[in-house]
Amino acid sequence: MGRKMAEDGILIKFVNVEKTYQIGEIEVPALRAINLIIHKGEYVAIMGPSGSGKSTMMNLIGCLDTVSTGEYWLAGENVSELTDNELAHIRNRRIGFVFQTFNLLPRANAFRNVELPLIYAGVGPGIRKERAIEALKNVGLGDRINHKPAELSGGQRQRVAIARALINNPSLILADEPTGNLDSATGEEILQIFDKLHSAGNTMVVVTHEESVAGRAARVIRLFDGQVVSDTYNHVHAQTTME
């Protein structure tokens, strides 16, 4: 099979993906025989009990990790064949990450955190400043630019993380339990931002425990023990299961 495989509208394609972690002598299967297609512009929630492989799947989608066997195609490219630098480039330009624990640099203020992806994109300081402040304003933190993470509330921190995830205008937004560490009112604010991003045409993949969060998505994929056990469309769509 070639490296490029153009298929209209398909952003993410898993073909018999397995992911096994090696802990000393023991092999821990985290994902087993996953076949999955996500189209551009979809809003997908991934659910499942703790340890079912949700984060592992997110890390694979986000090119932070590579499959053990099988193939992962992202926008027509076979990710297993990409070099480290190409993976870094994809993470930088095409993917925006939002984590449960925010993953902000504790010693850097909001502005410095948000400009990070631009540094690695080779953008000069003047434009960086402009765009970082713009991005912070867009998430309602125009007055918190010089605050360090410790001086911000949980919701504000997650909004800094979202501003950072969006700064390079990625087309794919990945969020691993983005509201897990937030109270429900603050979580709601974050979900509203996600709704807007989805309306703007971004592809959203959100890992969550909460049915209320999953309810915002058009499609819910449920994992159990490293396997997809259901793949359903909310509202108008009928239930389908991936073969």
Partner 1 sequence: MKAFILDVFEAAKIAGRALRSNKIRSFLATLGIVIGVMTVVLMITIIAGLNMSFQRQLAAIGSGTLYVDRYPWIFDDDFFSYRNRPRISMKEYLAISRYCTKAKAVTPYSDTMRPVGFKSEVLSGVYIVGTTDAYLETSDVMPEVGRFISATDANANRDVVVIGTTVAEKLFKERNPIGQMVRISGHEFRVIGVLEKQGTMFGQSLDSQAIIPLGSLMKYFGRHRDVTIIVKAADPKQLDELKDELTGVLRRVRKLGPADKDNFAINEQGQLMSMYTQLTSGVYSAGIIIGGISLLVGGIGIMNIMLVSVTERTQEIGIRKALGAKKSQIMRQFLIESALICLIGGTIGVGLAWGGGKIINQWLPAVMPISVAIASTMFAALVGIFFGIFPAAKAARLDPIVALRKE
Ligand X SMILES: Nc1ncnc2c1ncn2[C@@H]1O[C@H](COP(=O)(O)OP(=O)(O)O)[C@@H](O)[C@H]1O
- Which residues of this protein are in contact with ligand X, per CB under 6 A? 21, 23, 28, 30, 48, 50-56
Quote the least distance from Cβ 53 to partner 1, whole Å: 13
Pick 1 or 26: Cβ nearer ligand X: 26
Long-range contacts of 185-188 (CB under 8 A, 24+ apart): 186/153, 186/154, 186/155, 186/158, 187/213
Round to whole Å and give the CA distance between 68 and 78. Answer: 14
Q: CB of 28: closest distance to partner 1 in angstroms?
A: 14
Using an 8 Å Cβ cutoff, are 165 and 135 in contact? no
68 binds partner 1 (CB under 8 A): no
Stretch that binds partner 1, among 115-123, 129-137, 183-191, 192-200 (CB under 8 A): 115-123
Partner from ligand X, partner 1, Mg ion, none binding residue 88, C-beta < 5-8 Å depending on class = partner 1
- Please choose which of Mg ion, ligand X, partner 1, none residue 164 contacts, taking the beta carbon within 5 to 8 angstroms, the exact cut-off set by kind: partner 1
Q: Which does 119 bind (CB under 5 to 8 A by kind): partner 1, Mg ion, ligand X, none?
A: partner 1
Q: Is there binding between residue 89 and partner 1 (CB under 8 A)?
A: yes
Say how many residues make up the chain: 243
Residues of this chain, 116-175, that bind partner 1 according to CB under 8 A: 116-117, 119-122, 124, 164, 168
User: Nearer to Mg ion by C-beta: 55 or 168?
Assistant: 55
Query: In the range 35-64, which residues lie near Mg ion by CB under 5 A?
Result: 55
Residues that bind Mg ion (CB under 5 A): 55
